[in-house]
Each structure stands twice: as structure tokens, then as C-alpha cells.
Amino acid sequence: MRIAVPDLVTNSYFPALAAEELGFYRAEGLDAHVELHGPATRAIAALREGVVDVVAGGAHTALTGFPQWRGVKLVVGLAQGTPWLLVLRSDLPAPRGDVQAVKGRRIGAAPGPDAALRRLLAEAGIDPERDGVRIGPVPGSDGPGVSFGVRAAGALEAGEIDGFWANALGSETAVRRGVGKIVVDVRRGDGPPDAKHYTLAALIVKEASIAKEPEAVGAAVRAVVKVQAALKREPGRAAEVGRRRFPPDAAALIATLVERDLPFYDPVISEEAVAAMNRFARATGLLSAPVPYEQVVATQFRDLWAA
């Protein structure tokens, strides 16, 4: 089983990678490998075209390749809530929670996650065109093997951008280098209230694959649920994964970030979370009409979330 992630060096989709490196897929009889396919839109295209079997990513990004949730399902949650943070240059006058500080700034955001940033700004009364907010890819972030968050921190340090919207690993990298500061962390209450529920990190699988190989998909779900539980018992095991798959600087941070994120490592994909995500998707044009929970989530695997 080939599992694509739009950003490999991240805490957001970390349970999918940890399940490979800590042997949880193998324990379920599954030969699975996590590989980088960024940005998110490219990962979803790879899923649609059959290049990969699963995407571990922001759940709403499935709609970029599967309109109206046709042909695709979410099978298990990796991490609850919108996982990206807004970071600005440390020298800017931007107190925590001040979304208005983006006005007139160059903000790096990857395709897919950028929809959440644009909605966040709209809910805060900011019009990027009117207010001079230039949102676009981070220079050099589309190269092979490049982590968006880590590259974004480097671009901020180099003065190529004024801020970025990325995972906590990229954010923490910028903070520790002294070049950036976290202005908005929506999962922890910053910004408009609805922003924390725009999306969640999940495993995304085509309906055809579920129908053809339900046992393999179920094995992946069980592996994720078990690795989430294992990380909650021993968050220090995240360091093992980091040493194997991350650059040294990122590997040194991951155990701390995973421990901080443990409350979000929950496999349940609730009806409330799906409803909130679909409201966001409709507001941003990713979804044209309401769809029921059962069209979004592979409900046959729900019992496994409690395993």
C-alpha cells in the first residue's frame, strides 16, 4: 500500500508515518510505505490516477480531485482540527491572535491548505486584493523531497516572505531560529471561532479501493488507531520516527510537538466535524451542495476507531 503525504516532515499527519516506522502496519499484516507527494493537490491527483492507494492529508483537499465527495471516502482521523498555524516575521508588530497583521504582507501557503487561510482571512474581514495580502507558494517548496513547513521557515529567515501558513513543525522551526512568531493557532482558540473546524487530518481512500480491498483498508485503520494510542502512552517514541525520516533539526523537535499535539490524535471522524468541514468547503467553492455524512465517511470502519 502506497500512502502519500503532502508534507512528510510534519506533526499533522505524523500518525500515518509513525505507523510505518514503528511497525504498526506490519503488525496488521500490511506492507505499507509513506511517501511524499506535495503539495496536497498533487497528492490527491496521485490518488485519483491510481499512483498511490491512500492520501494522509487535510480531509477537505479530497474535493480538489473528487468533486462532491464522489468516489472517495475518509476512513480514519489522524489529527483533529485545522492543523496549520499563521507565522509572521518576529520583527513585525503582530500580537498573538491579530489576524489583521497580515495586511500588506507576503504570506506563503501551499495549494490545498491555502483555502483554509483564505477563509480565515475572509471571516476576519480581510480581502487579500483590497488589503494587499499576497498569498502564494513558498519559493523552492515544490522541489523533490522538500518539506513545506521547514522550507517556509527558511524562506522567512531569508526574507523571501513575510509570513507563512504551515504545520507546527515549520512554525516551531521559525520560532526557535528567532525569525518568526506564531500569530494564529486556530486549534488553540486564535482567530475566528469556526476556523478550528475547517478540516482535519485523515486517511483518504477511493471507494473502489475500499470495495476491492476492505481488509487492507481496515488494517490501515487499525494501525493508525493503535499507533495513536501508543504515542499517547509513550510520546518519546516519536523521536525514533524522526531520526529515521526527518532532517536532524526537525528530528530534534518532533517528540516535543507530538506530545503537545496528543489531545488532537483522535481517530474519530464525527458528524459534527464533517458538517463543519462541508460548510467551510461550500463557503470556499470546493463543494457546491450539501452531502450526507455517509457520502464522506466510510462508516463500515467506525467500529475500528474504538479498537
Could you tell me the pLDDT band of residue 144, with boundaries at 50, 70 and 90? low
- Residue 271 grid coordinates: 458528524
Same domain, 164 and 31: no
Same domain, 222 and 300: yes
* Those residues with Cβ within 8 angstroms of residue 215's Cβ, 6 or more apart along the chain or in another chain: none
- Mean pLDDT over all residues of the chain? 94
Could you tell me the pLDDT band of residue 303, with boundaries at 50, 70 and 90? very high
Same domain, 52 and 31: yes
Per-residue pLDDT, averaged over 97-101, amounts to 95
Q: How far is CA 303 from CA 79, 130, 256, in A?
A: 18, 48, 31
Q: In the listed set 157, 176, 196, which residue is the last one of a domain according to the structure?
A: 196
Q: In the listed set 174, 196, 218, which residue is the last one of a domain according to the structure?
A: 196
* CATH number for 233: 3.40.190.10
Least confident of 120-129, 219-228, 242-251, 262-271: 242-251
* Those residues with Cβ within 8 angstroms of residue 157's Cβ, 6 or more apart along the chain or in another chain: 174, 177, 179
Q: Give the domain extent around 284.
A: 2-81+199-306
Number of structural domains in the chain: 2
For helices 248-261 and 238-245, what crossing angle results, to 10°?
Answer: 150
Same domain, 288 and 261: yes
CA distance 54 to 204: 6
Same domain, 116 and 150: yes
Same domain, 61 and 209: yes
Is the pLDDT at 11 greater than 70? The verdict is: yes
Same domain, 226 and 92: no
Residue pair 64/112 in contact by the 8 Å Cβ criterion: yes
CA distance 123 to 137: 22
CA distance 260 to 69: 32
CA distance 245 to 269: 28
Same domain, 47 and 190: no
Same domain, 49 and 91: no
pLDDT tens, 22-55? 999 999 999 999 999 988 999 999 999 999 999 9
Same domain, 138 and 12: no
Same domain, 203 and 192: no
Is the pLDDT at 60 greater than 90? The verdict is: yes
Least confident of 107-121, 147-161, 206-220: 147-161
- Of 84, 57, 80, nearest to 184 (Cα)? 84
In degrees and rounded to multiples of 5, residue 190 shows phi and psi of: -80, 155
* Those residues with Cβ within 8 angstroms of residue 214's Cβ, 6 or more apart along the chain or in another chain: 300
In degrees and rounded to multiples of 5, residue 191 shows phi and psi of: 80, -175
Neighbours of 49 (CB within 10 A): 9
Q: In the listed set 196, 229, 244, which residue is the last one of a domain according to the structure?
A: 196
Is the link from the previous residue into 67 a cis peptide, with omega within 30 of 0? no
pLDDT at 107: 97
Sequence-distant contacts of 63-69: CB under 8 A, at least 24 apart: 63/281, 63/286, 63/287, 64/40, 64/112, 64/286, 65/41, 67/288, 68/287, 68/288, 68/289, 68/291, 68/295, 69/287, 69/291, 69/295, 69/296
pLDDT at 145: 66
pLDDT at 139: 85
Same domain, 206 and 126: no
Could you tell me the pLDDT band of residue 170, with boundaries at 50, 70 and 90? confident
pLDDT at 142: 73
- Of 222, 236, 214, 231, nearest to 267 (Cα)? 222
